[in-house]
Amino acid sequence: MSFLIFLLVGLFAGILAKALMPGSANEPGGWLMTIILGIAGAYVGGFLGSMIGVGSGNFVGQVLISAVGAMVIIGIARLFTRRTV
């Protein structure tokens, strides 16, 4: 059951990150890449959140922290691919 919740958080975080980052909606990758982006964002966001002392036990907080992490990943990927908005 927790694996399904983990996938759901990843999906919602990836969708939110793609919606908030300019130009991300036009990038290639379907729903599977969006989930992977959100899951990777959960790790990055959890790491960054623990560094500044922000943690959340609720679903919405987890999605928001994961989305911030996913946005960081998108930004880093754009640095290496030289993709602009």
Q: Please give the residue that has the higher pLDDT: either 13 or 24.
A: 13
Residue 32 has pLDDT above 60, yes or no: yes
pLDDT computed for residue 72 by the predictor: 84
Q: Fill in the amino acid letter for 13.
A: A
Per domain, the residue ranges of the chain are 2-81
Tens digit of pLDDT for each residue in 33-45? 777 877 888 788 7
Q: For residue 12, how far is the Cα from the chain centroid?
A: 8
pLDDT computed for residue 63 by the predictor: 75
pTM: 0.72
pLDDT computed for residue 5 by the predictor: 74
Query: What percent of the chain shows pLDDT beyond 90?
Result: 0
Asked whether 69 and 43 are in contact (CB, 8 A), the reply is: yes
